[in-house]
Structure 1
Amino acid sequence: MHASSAPSPMSAQPVPAAPGPPAPGPEDGRATALLILLGSALSNQTGAAIGSLAFPVLGPLGVVAVRQYVAAIALFAVARPPLRSFTRHQWWPVLLLAVVFGTMNLSLYTAIDRIGLGLAVTLEFLGPLAVALSAARRRIDACCALVAAAGVVTLMRPQPSADYPGMGLGLLAALCWASYILLNRTVGRRVPGAQGSAAAAAVSALMFLPVGVVLALRNPPTPTAVGYAVAAGVLASAVPYLADMVTLRRVPAAAFGLFMSVNPVLAGLAGWVVLGQHLGAVEWAAVGAVVAANALSILTARR
C-alpha cells in the first residue's frame, strides 16, 4: 500500500514542468510482470534444487517440514488472517487445503529424491494441465491431452533403472496440485483475499511441527542443511507467492498459464546445474511434449 504525499504550499503556483522520461504505460508494466513471473519460476525450481542438497541430513520429510514453516511465516505476514472469526463453513475447505498442501510438497520432494528434479516436476505439472484441459471442449485440447499423455508414457516407459514408486509419487503430487487448484477456488469464494491460503499454510505447518521436533531430536541437523532447507522455503514458497500477487493483477490468465508451463524445463535445467542430474534426449523430448501441450492449448484458446 503506497501512501500519497500531501501537496506542499508551493504546489499552488503554476510551475513549468521539466522535461523527463515518459510515464510507463500498461505495456511496460505487463513486460515487467512477465519478467517477474519468469524469475519466480526460476526461483521456485532453484529453491527445490537447493532443498535437495539437504536430503542426506534432513531427508525429504525434514526439508518439507522446514519449507512449510517458512511458507506459513511468509503468508501470515502478508495476509494476517483473523482465524478466530472463521466459521465452520470457512474452516473445512481451509483444513482440506492444508492437508493437500502438505501432501503435495511431501510427495513432490520424495519424488525428487528418487527420480530427479526435472522428471518429478514434469509429472507434477500434469495436475494443472489436467484441470485446464478438463474444462475444454475443443478438438485441439483433446490433441493436447494426447500429446501430454504420450510424454508421460515416454517418461514412465519400462527401463532397468525405472523407479516406479518415485514416478507414482510424482503423479500423486500432480493429483494434489489439481486438488489444490480446485480447493483454492472454494477457499477464495469463502475467505477474502489471501487469508484462506495463509490459514491453510499455518495449519499445514502445525501438522509438520511434531515431525520437525522428532527429526531434530533423533538426528540433530547441521547448520548447512537447515540453511539449504530455509533457502528452499524462501525461494520455492515465499518468492513465488509474492511474485504471483504482483503478476496476477497485471498479466492475463492465459499469459500466466503459458509462463507456468516453463517450470518443467527450468526444473530440468536447475537439476542439471545445481544437482548434476542429467536428462537424456528421450526424457527432454517427453518434457517438451508436456510443455508443448500446455502452451498449444493456451495459445489456441487466446485466439
Structure 2
Amino acid sequence: MDSASHAFWERTARSHARHMRTMTRGRRTVQADTRAVPGNGAEGAGTTGSTGGGGGRRLTGLAMMCGSGLSNQTGAAIGALAFPVIGPAGVVAVRQWVAAVVLLAVGRPRLRSFTARQWRPVLLLAAVFATMNLSLYSAIDRVGLGLAVTLEFLGPLAVALAGSRRAVDLGCALVAAAGVVALTRPQPSTDYLGIGLGLLAAVCWASYILLNGTIGRRLPGAEGSAAAAGLSGLLFLPVGIVVLLRHPPTEPALACAAVAGVLSSAVPFLSDVQALRRVPARFFGIFMSVNPVLAAVVGLVVLGESLTWSSWAAIAAVVVSNAVSVLASGRRAG
C-alpha cells in the first residue's frame, strides 16, 4: 500500500472512531434525559412542574390538588365525630396507622434500594407528617379552629411568597391569605402554647410541601410517600397505644377514625406528591388556600351549616385569586 492510500485509510479510521465516540455520547445523553423525566422512577428527576406536558400537566396537577383538598376536608369532618370517644390524639394515631397500611400496599417501597440521598427527605417527611396533624389538633383544642387554621396557613403562604417572582404571584398569595382570614375569622388569644402549636403546624405544612416536591424528584411513583407514611405510623405507635388504653374506643369511633385515615391522610399524601411533580411549589402554596373554602362547603353540605355573606365574599376572593394564579402560570409556561 502506497503512502497516499495509507494516509487515506488512517484518516478514515480516525473519522470513524470519532463518529462512534459521538454516537456513544449521544446514546448516553438520551438515556440520561430519559432517566430525568419526573415520575418515571429515576432519581434526579427534572424540576417539578416546570416544563414538559405544559397545560396538560398543570391541569392534572390542579385536579389532583382539588381532589386532595376535598378528600382531606371530608375525612376531617368524619374524623371529628370520634373526638368525644378517643380524642384528637387517638384519631390522629389511627389516621397515621391506616395511612401507613394503605400507602405501603399501594407504593410498595423497595427500602433496601434507597440511597442516603433518597432516605434523607423520607425521614424528614415522616417526622413532619407525624407532627403536623397532632400540632394542629392540639392548637384547635387550645385557641379555637379559626385561629389555628389561620396560623397553619402561614406555612403554605410562606412557600408561595418565597417562590413568587412576579407581582401577580405576590398579589394572588396576599388576596388568598386575606380570604382565609375573613373565612376563618380568628379570635385573639393569650394562650401562647396554643399559638406556638399553630405556628409549629405552619412550619410542618411548609416543610411537607417542600419535602414532597423533593421526594417526587428523587423517588419513583409513591415509594417515598409510602416509606414516610410507614415510618410516621411507627412513630405514633406508642402514643396511640397509650391514648387508646386510656380512652377505650368504640367500633363507630374506630370506623370514623379509619375513614379519616384514608380520606385525610392516605389520599392527600398520595395526591400531593404526584401534584408537586406537575406544578411549582409556589403555586401549590397558593392553592392550599382552598382548604378552608372546601371545609366551609363540606360543613354546608354534610353538616347543614350556614354561611354568611362575608363568608361567601371570602370564598369568592380565594377562588378568584387561585383562578388568576392558574391563568398567569399558564401564560408564563406558554
Q: Compute the TM-score of the two structures, normalised by the length of structure 2.
A: 0.66
The whole-number CA distance in structure 2 between the counterparts of 1:76 and 1:156 is 35
How big is each residue's C-alpha offset from its partner over 1:192-217, in whole Å with a ceiling of 9 and x where there is no partner?
33211111111110000011111122
**Is it true that 1:267 corresponds to 2:295 in the alignment?**
yes
The Cα shift of 1:166 comes to 5.1
Q: Percent same amino acid among aligned pairs?
A: 69
**Is it true that 1:138 corresponds to 2:174 in the alignment?**
no
The whole-number CA distance in structure 2 between the counterparts of 1:242 and 1:137 is 28
The whole-number CA distance in structure 1 between the counterparts of 2:172 and 2:274 is 30
The equivalences for 1:143-292 within 5 A come to: 143-151=171-179, 159=187, 169-241=197-269, 261-274=289-302, 281-282=309-310, 285-286=313-314, 288-292=316-320
Query: Which residue of structure 2 lines up, in the alignment, with residue 81 of structure 1?
Result: 109
The whole-number CA distance in structure 1 between the counterparts of 2:320 and 2:147 is 16
Structure 1's 191 and 248: CA in aligned 2 closer, same or farther, altered over 3 A? closer
The whole-number CA distance in structure 1 between the counterparts of 2:280 and 2:190 is 39
Give the superposed CA RMSD: 4.0
2:90 to 51, 62, 74: 62
The Cα shift of 1:96 comes to 0.9
**Is it true that 1:99 corresponds to 2:127 in the alignment?**
yes
The letter for the 1-side match of 2:166 is R
Q: Secondary structure at the match of 1:93?
A: helix
Larger CA deviation: 124-133 vs 72-81: 124-133
The whole-number CA distance in structure 1 between the counterparts of 2:290 and 2:280 is 17
The Cα shift of 1:226 comes to 0.9
The letter for the 2-side match of 1:53 is L
For structure 2, the residue ranges without an aligned partner over 5 or more in a row are 1-54
**Is it true that 1:46 corresponds to 2:36 in the alignment?**
no
- Maintained 8 Å contact 2:104/2:226: yes
- Maintained 8 Å contact 2:143/2:191: yes
Structure 1's 114 and 271: CA in aligned 2 closer, same or farther, altered over 3 A? farther
The Cα shift of 1:298 comes to 3.0
The whole-number CA distance in structure 1 between the counterparts of 2:259 and 2:250 is 14
The Cα shift of 1:76 comes to 0.6
Structure 1's 292 and 28: CA in aligned 2 closer, same or farther, altered over 3 A? closer
Query: Which residue of structure 1 lines up, in the alignment, with residue 138 of structure 2?
Result: 110
For structure 1, the residue ranges without an aligned partner over 5 or more in a row are 1-26
The whole-number CA distance in structure 1 between the counterparts of 2:216 and 2:56 is 29
The Cα shift of 1:159 comes to 4.6
The equivalences for 1:114-133 within 5 A come to: 120-121=148-149, 123-133=151-161
